[in-house]
Amino acid sequence: MVDKNVELALFRIKQKADSPLNEFKNVINNEMCMITTSLIAYFATMNASENVLTMVGWSDAAMGNCAMIDKPIVYKIEETGLWGDAVRERKAVITNDYQNLQKPTKKGYPEGHVTVIGHMNLPVMENGKVVLVAGVGNKNSEYTQKDVSDLQPIMDEAWKILKAKL
């Protein structure tokens, strides 16, 4: 049974399917933040070889709080830190205590980047390939499997609409 809030988020995404791309990206990020009660959100497309992510959308809070001078939008998976784990592991990855995490893929973040406290990201798959990575961060409580279960159908639906717009 699908959560009522997830149903509403799916309805709002479908309702905005004909919106211009920038407006639709904002809708996606807002829904991601609302469904997981996160402060920041982002999503990135994956190339066919699954070795390069291209940032497509990020919440206002994510970029508004980011003081990095150069904000790269293209990332090689081999160079990404923790947020590339959803691609490498081909599943959702939850990190509730980023600052104390001991994991080889934790690379920190550049000076001026928004501080990450907690983070969750997940892959969107199509025909056995990762096509999109969606992530949220800095929820006031811990991320759980329910967050994954709530966010996955929203991002699967968003991808169906988004891919025609890109």
Please count the other Cβ atoms lying within 10 Å of the Cβ belonging to residue 11: 11
Confidence grade of residue 156 (pLDDT, cut at 50, 70, 90): very high
pLDDT at 15 > cutoff 50: yes
pLDDT of res. 2: 74
pLDDT level of residue 99 (50, 70, 90 thresholds): low
Flag whether pLDDT at 107 surpasses 70: no
Residue 68: which pLDDT band, with cuts at 50, 70 and 90? Answer: very low
The mean pLDDT value of the chain amounts to 86
**In percent, how much of the chain has pLDDT > 70?**
81
Tokens 């600052």, residue located: 99
| Residues in contact with 144: Cβ distance below 8 Å, sequence separation at least 6, in sequence order | 94
Q: Give the integer Cα–Cα distance in Å for 43 and 152.
A: 12
| pLDDT confidence of residue 105 | 61
Residue 82 banded pLDDT, cuts 50, 70, 90:
confident
pTM beyond 0.85: the answer is yes
More confident residue, 66 or 153: 153
Determine the pLDDT at residue 69. 42
What local confidence, expressed as pLDDT, does residue 83 receive? 79
Q: How far apart are the C-alpha atoms of 37 and 70, rounded to whole Å?
A: 28
Mean pLDDT, residues 107-114 taken together: 53
**How many Å separate Cα 158 from the centre of its chain?**
12
pLDDT at residue 88 above 90? yes
